[in-house]
Amino acid sequence: MREYTPILIVAAIIGVFAVAFLIVFLREKDKKESMGFERHMADREIIRRLLRYAKPYRKSFVLVFFVMLLSIGYDLASPLLVGRIEETVKDTFALGTLFSYVAVYAGILIVSLVCTYAQAMILQKTGQKILSAIRMDTFTHIESLSHEQLNNIPVGKLVTRVSNDPNAISYMFTNILVTLVKNIMVIFGVLGAMLSLNYALTLMVLCFVPFVILFTVIFRKFSRKVHRRVNDATTDINTYLSENLSGIKITQIFNREDKKMADFLEKSEKLKRAKQARMLVFGIFRPMVYMLYISSVMCLLYMGGRASIEGRGYLGQALTSGVIVTFYMFISKFFNPIQTLAEQFDMLQRSFASAEKIFTILDIVPEVVDTPDAVELDEIRGEIEFKDVWFGYKPDEWVLKGVSFHIMSKQTVAFVGATGSGKTTILSLICRNYDIQKGQILIDGIDIKRIRISCLRRHFGQMLQDVFLFSGDIRGNILLRSEGVSDAEVMEACRYVNADKFINRLEKGLDEPVRERGNNFSAGQRQLLSFARTIIHKPSVIILDEATANIDTETELLIQDSLEKIRNIGTMLIVAHRLSTIQHADNIIVLSGGQIMEQGDHQSLLHRHGMYYQLYTLQFSKEQLLGA
């Protein structure tokens, strides 16, 4: 019994550390649960969904598996060869045998290096293809969401889902899964080799396995939670930066730099604490496994050295110096994969946490989708009809209440009314940015729900008050979805809307760089570019939502001239607070509280002395006062 005393002492020490480990993390668990963790996807579901992306490349993974087997062969053969070399060194007349063992060892090493290189190259290429597929699916799905859904998701969160999260998943395919499989096979292979060599020493090593399993289970449980905290904190800070850097001018104008800095520091501190918790989990696990490794080596050296000195073995099996050396290397190869598993589990949990975030976005069901019987229309005349339309952004909070009107093809119709009366909402419904709750909207006599969304929007051209220009150049911002359009056609569209006047003054013309959001151009110049962008696509229905607001008088005159030309292209729908811009409309629809109060042309509405007359008189009086 005395000879096993050291093993019992080491086991007792490990047991004490295990109990302490459990106490620390159970306290951490209680703390986290009090913070209100949400329910997340099960690992099985995440793996199942991720494997769908790997399925098209299963041949590559099979090839990697066979290459990996050759590499595992080196891990199992090298300790045996070293043990044989150690035994051969004692024999003075065995130089030829020694050379043969060394040559075989070198050959196996070279084969292993070649296999490792081939495995890495195949996995990297395959992983990048999977990464691209995940990123494209995420981006495409985001594009399919309705305006309402996009308004409810911070832009920073979407950016993180498309850019950062797929990288963690890619690493899982390129490194983690294959390494996990390899390490597990190495562990079982080493155990089999040790059992065939000396089962007594193998049983000694197996005494430490329950502790390894215990630590691994605990690590896996808490690693997943801390990775979720890091991901949530990273998303939070990205969202904050995206919003506040875009609005930094407002921050400076109102002298709120200190407040924004304090908010940013708070979020940074939250991210720091989350990362510290992750480091704590990982920092405890690896030393514990390393302690098990050192303990097993100490037991091997004590038991093996004592048996070798006394010239006896254990359980009837003799122990030579070669066996001890072989077992020393096997123990290293047994615990090294376990330590690597710690890192792999860490990265795997990070990948799973990222996958959860991506699948959360992918699981959002688009609210506005094509119906099964949706049709594709080659052309649209532009006849629009609303039949008793009811719509609200929130349940039972109606923005439109039983709205009905009929617009003939190539008519110019204006919508006027106070803010919140439903003008912009009507234009959004026509483009099917939202779906109505009651009633019917017809285009050329066809319910818009029976027209493919991409087809419907392709025939619409929209010019909004807040013009969005993308980084690039003027040509790219005008063309957008058009292909095969020459510079001559682009300039013709610019001349048509009077945008050529300022473009010709630019040093690079159509190649003039456009900075973020077009902030190197004035509001009027951006608006003229949006007019050119709309015209070049030859829409059947043109929508102007406060397109003449917030621009100087000179540019307004250019836009008014452009509007007169555009009226000949197709049906035109206008929302404008400046009533002077809609006097020539064929029909003016006056809205209030989501209902149509009156409609008619400019003169007939003035003669009625109704709401339009009051709006026009009030605006005219203000302009007179300002002029005075």
CATH number of the domain within which 227 lies? 1.20.1560.10
With beta carbons less than 8 A apart as the criterion, state whether 194 and 330 touch.
Answer: yes
Task: Provide the domain count of the chain.
Answer: 1
Residues 6 or more apart whose Cβ sits within 8 Å of residue 467: 518, 523, 526, 527, 529, 530
Task: State residue 384's pLDDT score.
Answer: 94
Asked if residue 349 belongs to a domain, the reply is yes
First-residue to last-residue Cα distance in the chain: 111
HSE-up (13 A, CA, CB side) for residue 197: 28
Task: State residue 532's pLDDT score.
Answer: 87
With beta carbons less than 8 A apart as the criterion, state whether 493 and 569 touch.
Answer: no
Nearest to 296 by CA among 219, 215, 202: 202
Task: State residue 399's pLDDT score.
Answer: 92
Q: Which phi and psi angles does 254 have, rounded to 5°?
A: -95, 10
The pTM of the whole model exceeds 0.75:
no
Asked if residue 405 belongs to a domain, the reply is no
d(CA 112, CA 511): 54
Asked if residue 220 belongs to a domain, the reply is yes
d(CA 330, CA 112): 17
Q: Helix, strand, coil shares of the chain as percentages rounded to 5?
A: 65, 10, 20
Cα separations in angstroms, 155 against 43, 356, 471, 525? 28, 18, 17, 27
Taking 50 as the pLDDT cut, the residues of the chain under it are 1-9, 11-12, 15-16, 18-19, 21-39, 315, 624-628
Question: Residue 446 belongs to what H/E stretch?
Answer: strand 446-447
Nearest to 172 by CA among 140, 231, 126, 115: 126
Task: State residue 550's pLDDT score.
Answer: 60
Domain that holds residue 219: 2-33+40-362
Structure tokens at 551: 């621009």
Asked if residue 584 belongs to a domain, the reply is no
With beta carbons less than 8 A apart as the criterion, state whether 223 and 176 touch.
Answer: no
Asked if residue 60 belongs to a domain, the reply is yes
Q: What is the DSSP letter of 307?
A: H
Structure tokens at 283: 């920092």
Beta bridge partners of residue 400, listed in sequence order: 391
Asked if residue 99 belongs to a domain, the reply is yes
Residues 90, 94, 97: CA angle, nearest 5 degrees: 115
Other beta carbons within 10 angstroms of residue 189's beta carbon come to: 18
Asked if residue 261 belongs to a domain, the reply is yes
Task: State residue 279's pLDDT score.
Answer: 82
Other beta carbons within 10 angstroms of residue 244's beta carbon come to: 16
Task: State residue 414's pLDDT score.
Answer: 92
The residue type at 259: K
Nearest to 499 by CA among 516, 518, 471: 518
Q: Which phi and psi angles does 357 have, rounded to 5°?
A: -65, -45
Beta bridge partners of residue 415, listed in sequence order: 575, 589
Structure tokens at 113: 């290096």
Give helix 321-362 / helix 209-246 axis angle, nearest 10°.
Answer: 40
Task: State residue 65's pLDDT score.
Answer: 84
Asked if residue 371 belongs to a domain, the reply is no
